[in-house]
Amino acid sequence: MLKWIDYIWFVGESFHVREKSPGDGTALLMGCWYLDAALPLLTFLHRVAGGWWFYLAAVPVVLLVPFVFCRFRYTVKRRDEIFARFRHKHMGRRLLAIGAVIAGICCLEAFLMLHFGFWELGSRF
């Protein structure tokens, strides 16, 4: 599992270094986490323990997970090992593919949560 996470980080970081783009590997992992893991996790946890107190306690923890993970996982030594392990070709295509997969998973999760009733469309008064 960590190999895939390292690869996603590598693609974002490599594209950032090569093209001088504003996003880096940490930003790409944060996008993956927020859209594909934190969104359904918060939805399911809200069903178990809902209310404002839940959000005051859970949301800061869920938002800080990618920052803490990247801070401890991607040290200078590990960064050099990861860059030596993976190839540096066609980073734009790989970044586009990763973005498409992230968006696809997010759309699938949203559809399933609407379908199974975790989310509802419309407004309540």
Tens of pLDDT, residues 36-66: 988 888 888 777 776 777 778 888 888 899 9
Q: How far apart are CA 97 and CA 35, in angstroms?
A: 16
Is the predicted pLDDT of residue 109 greater than 90, yes or no? yes
Token pair belonging to 66: 């990618």
Residue 13 lies in a domain: yes
Taken in order 124, 106, 108, 58, the sign of the CA dihedral is: negative
Q: How many domains does the chain have?
A: 1
Rounded to an integer, what distance in angstroms lies between the CA atom of residue 43 and that of residue 34?
Answer: 12
In a domain, 98, yes or no: yes
User: Is residue 123 domain-resident?
Assistant: no
Percent of the chain surpassing pLDDT 90: 46
Q: Which domain holds residue 63?
A: 2-115
Q: Is 54 contained in some domain?
A: yes
Would you say residue 99 lies in a domain? yes
Q: How confident is the model at residue 22 (pLDDT cuts 50, 70, 90)?
A: confident
Indicate whether 124 belongs to any domain: no
**What pLDDT, on a 0 to 100 scale, did the predictor assign at position 91?**
85
Lowest mean pLDDT among 15-19, 73-77, 101-105: 15-19
pLDDT at 123: 66
Tell me if 120 is assigned to some domain. Answer: no
Residue 86 is assigned to a structural domain of this protein:
yes
Residues 6+ apart with CB under 8 A from 73: 2, 5
Element (H, E) at 79: helix 76-85
List all residues 6 or more positions away from 125 whose beta carbon is below 8 Å from its beta carbon: none
- C-alpha count within 13 angstroms, C-beta hemisphere, residue 108: 8
